[in-house]
Amino acid sequence: MSAKSMQPAPGADTSPDSYLPAHGNGGYQVTRYTLDLDYKVGPNRLSGHAVIEGVATQALSRFSLDLAGFRIGRVQVNGQSAKYTQRAGKLHVKPQRALQPGSVFMAEIRYTGNPHPIASAAWGDIGWDELTDGALVASQPVGAPSWFPCNDHPSDKAAYRVSVTTSSAYTVLVTGNLLAKRQGASTTTWVFERPEPTATYLMGVHIGRYEQVALATEPVPQLAAVPPRLRALFDRDFRRQTDMVDALEGFFGPYPFGEYVVVVTDDELEEPIEAQGLSVFGANLLDGRGTHERLIVHELAHQWFGNSLTVAEWKHIWLNEGFATYAEWLWAAESGGLSADVQARRWHAAMAGLPADLRIGDPGVEKLFDERVYKRGALTLHALRKLLGDLPFFALLKDWAQRYRHATVTTAQFTALAEEHAGRSLAAFFDEWLFSPALPPFPAG
């Protein structure tokens, strides 16, 4: 087949995201991924069989998936062999019969290779990564194609069933509920189900020599996977996590998933990693003194804001990071530390000393994870709290988390809901706090 004959239709291999149009694809929505993975730790060798169920949103003579660095063994669409080409991180598929608008389809891809992170100029290496003894996945925002074929955009959320077969010496954690564990002669197969709609970047696989620790059964089952050498430090540093869950449920409403799992790697990590119903911390974030407790509550808060409520486009990232940062301040006050108002004043003073060249409601792709998006996002929420008063403000947060549970969200949806709770226009307020580069004065009251 010629490259010309396989050229996708306009827009078929791009997403509508203004920041990352090369990640994600047009013309269809995925409803479910079924991934059967076989991984050999030593040679870092992954063999995968992906079944992708979706719905065509337009007529498609061809479509694209995001996948990087693998050799394709076979591609089928609706049980029939399909032509395909690979280039620039895309798998272009041409089924024997064109897909009609509204039609349900199933694509199967078999692939093998040595998974490795996807390099990005702005954020470094993202995706599947080898540990000293094991592996992890850290996919935000563009790393999912490093381990499975997908429509890699946060607006296309789907259900998942993932099975991983590897050496029985290792424990496997996947973002989801453990359904089965089948042991063979030297390998074990772990099967997980993620029933809630989930963005590709929030799926992960974690393989290591871990001790599993049951932390709580209420209000949601909580489990940890920890290297045995770090168990004592973990017990001290994470001793208040169950209290955090209770506190955040009080602020935001019911925890949105069926479990919460914490993985601590035996390697150091630059930052914690959030995933759907799961968070990952490096060994360097444990010291037995609770030094990094704010990061524990920050990642937990992402289960509401970022994971259950997922941004429809990356430009809305403050809805993830501003809310999770404000949860840090709320927890500190709740647990006997500084009030949210004192913390906000301190961070306002710190932000005032930084360049005023960023609009947190649309920060630009290069500044997607700029600290000012986090801290000014939290300051925006604190200013809104002072404007509305505590009762309306926390009613708004609970309504926001519940009304858009397991959906995708935009800044416009949040501002509209805030105006609904305020009973008046807040256009000037949000324009000043979200879309003006200049830091507004600290709110009175």
H or E stretch at 197: strand 187-198
Q: Give the distance, in angstroms, between the CA of residue 215 and the centroid of all CA atoms in the same chain.
A: 23
CA neighbor of 36 nearest in space, from 109, 90, 143: 109
Residues 183-231 have pLDDT tens digits of 999 999 999 999 999 999 999 999 999 999 999 999 999 999 999 999 9
User: At CA 63, angle to CA 57 and CA 64, rounded to 5?
Assistant: 120
What pLDDT was estimated at residue 12? Answer: 75
8 Å CB contact between 225 and 209: no
Of 362, 393, 389, nearest to 376 by C-alpha is 362
Query: In 113-210, which ranges are continuous DSSP H helix?
Result: none
Question: pLDDT tens digits, residue range 158-193?
Answer: 999 999 999 999 999 999 999 999 999 999 999 999
Q: Look at residue 11 in the predicted model and tell me its pLDDT.
A: 62
3: pLDDT strictly greater than 70: no
User: What pLDDT is stored for residue 4 in this prediction?
Assistant: 33
Instruction: Give bridge partners of residue 5 from the DSSP assignment.
Output: none
Over residues 335-343, the mean pLDDT reads 96
Closest CA to 30 of 204, 127, 149, 141: 149
Residue ranges and CATH numbers for the domains of the chain are 1-206 (2.60.40.1730), 210-303 (3.30.2010.30), 310-434 (1.10.390.10)
- Whether 133 has a pLDDT exceeding 60, the answer reads yes
Where does the pLDDT of residue 24 fall: very low under 50, low under 70, confident under 90, or very high at 90 and above?
A: very high
Distance of CA 228 to the CA centre of its chain: 27
Query: Which helix H or strand E contains 375, and what residues bound it?
Result: helix 371-388
For residue 10, pLDDT beyond 70 = no
Six-digit token pair at 323? 């809310």
Residue 171: alpha-carbon gap to chain centroid: 22
pTM for this model (two decimals) = 0.95
